[in-house]
A and B are shown apart, each in its own frame.
Chain A
Amino acid sequence: MTARLIIGALFMVGLWALVAKRNLVKKVFGLTILNSAAVLLFIAEAGASGGGAPIMGGGQRIVDPIPQALMLTAIVIGVCVTALALGMAYRLYKATGSMDIEEIRKRLGNG
C-alpha cells in the first residue's frame, strides 16, 4: 500500500505541473511524470505475483510478464507523446516568442 500511496503522490505532482505551471516545457515535464506514475503503478502491482525477473531459468518464481510487456508499449507511446508535445511547444515559441501559456494566449489573441 505504501507503494500505491507514493505513486499516487507522484501522479499528483505530475498533474500539478500539468495544470498549475505556466511554462509549456514544464507542462510537458508534468505529462512525462504522469506517464511514469502510471508505468510504476503497473510494475509495482505486478510485483505481488513473484520475485524473479520474467526470464526462464532463474530458479525464482517469476513475476507476471504481461504488465511488463504492456508498460513497454506505454513507455514508447509516452516518448511519442512527449516528442509531439515538445514539437508543438517549439512551434508556439517560434510563433509567439514566449513559452508562457498566458503570454501566448495574449499574443495570439491580439493577432
Chain B
Amino acid sequence: MSARAPSAQVLTAALCIAAASFALWPLANFDGPWPEGIRDYLEARGQDESGARNLVSAIYLGYRGYDTLGETIVLLVAVSGAIGMIGAAGSKLTPGYADAAQGQSPVAGTARRAHRRTELIDVVTGKLGPVVLVFGLYVMLFGHVSPGGGFQGGVVVASGIVFLGMGSKGAGLSPLVGAVTLARIEAAGFLALLLAAGLGIVSGAGFFAPPLRGASPVGYIVALNAVIGLKVGAGIGFLCIAMLGEAER
C-alpha cells in the first residue's frame, strides 16, 4: 500500500474515471444500425436447416457444434481443476459450510459472523429438490421449442442436486448427491457427447451432423440437449457439493 493520503487516491481515481469516460464516450453514444443479414438468414432458414424452433439452440447445437464441444471441455477442465485444488488442500470443508475449527475471521479487521443452519433450510430444500430436478429435466428436454436447452436445464438440475445435498444434512444422502455418482454421470455424459458427435461420421453425414439423413433433425437436437444437460448438471452439481463439503474423496 502506498503511504499517500486517501484524498490523493480519491483524486487519482476520479481522474482515471474521467479519462476513461472521455475515451469511451463515442462508444456509449454510438448510433449505427445493427447488422441484420445473419438475423434475416436465420429467421428464414434456421428452423428448416436445424429442426429447432428455438434459434439459439439451432446455433449452438446445429451450426456451431464444435463450439459447444469446446465449451463442455472447458467446463470439464474447470470442474476437474477446482476439485483438484480443493481436494489437494488436504482437508474437506466442514458440513454446514462453516469452518468451525478456525476461530479467527478470514479478513483482518472484520468480525467473524456465526454461520447457522436452521431446520427450515433442511426441510424446505429437501422437499424442493426433486421438484427442481423435474423442472430442470423439462427445461433440458424442451429446449428446442421453448426457452431453455442443455446448459440452462443442466444448471437447474445442478441447483436441484445442491438442494438435495443441503436438505440431507450429511446423513442419509440420496445416492444422486454422492460425489462418485456425479463424477460418473459427468464422464458418461462427455463420452455420450463424443459418440453423438461422431455418429455422423459413421453414417457419412459429417462430424456433429444428424446421423440419419432424410429424418427430421429435431431428434438429434433433443438428444444433444439431454446429453449436455446431464453433463452440465452433474459437473456443476459435483462442484457445488464438493464446495459444500459433502464430497467424499
Contact = CB atoms under 8 A, between A and B. Distances in A.
A22 B107 contact: yes
Given A64-B34, A64-B36, A65-B56, A83 B82 contact: yes
A86 B77 CA distance: 15
Contacts of B39: 49-50, 62-66
A94 B102 CA distance: 10
Contacts of B243: 86
B28 A4 contact: yes
6 contacts: A23-B107, A76-B151, A80-B75, A83-B239, A91-B86, A91-B89
A1 B1 CA distance: 37
B100 to A, nearest CB: 14
Interface string A74-87: 01110111011011
B54 A5 contact: no
Nearest to B243: A86
A77 B36 contact: no
B108 A103 contact: yes
Interface of B: 1, 17, 24, 27-29, 34, 36, 38-39, 42-43, 46-47, 53-56, 58-60, 64, 67, 71, 74-75, 77-79, 81-86, 88-91, 102, 104, 106-108, 145-147, 149, 151, 232, 236, 239, 243
A90 B88 CA distance: 11
Nearest to A64: B39
Contacts of B29: 1
Contact of A56 (B55, B64, B82): B55
B78 A100 contact: no
B32 to A, nearest CB: 10
Contacts, number: 125
Contacts of A48: 34
A15 B55 CA distance: 33
A57 B147 CA distance: 13
B34 A46 contact: yes
Give the bracket for the number of chain A residues in contact with chain B: 35 or more
Interface string A36-52: 00000000011011100
Contact of B108 (A4, A77, A100): A100
A62 B34 CA distance: 13
Interface string A92-107: 0111011110110000
Given A49-B39, A72-B60, A80-B79, 6 more contacts: A54-B54, A54-B56, A55-B55, A66-B38, A69-B59, A97-B102
A73 B208 CA distance: 18
B223 to A, nearest CB: 19
Contacts of B79: 80, 83
Nearest to A57: B53
Contact of A90 (B67, B89, B232, B239): B89
A8 B108 contact: no
B71 A77 contact: yes
Contact of A55 (B34, B86, B146, B151): B146
A64 B38 contact: yes
Nearest to A83: B82
Given A56-B47, A83-B79, A84-B78, A1 B28 contact: yes
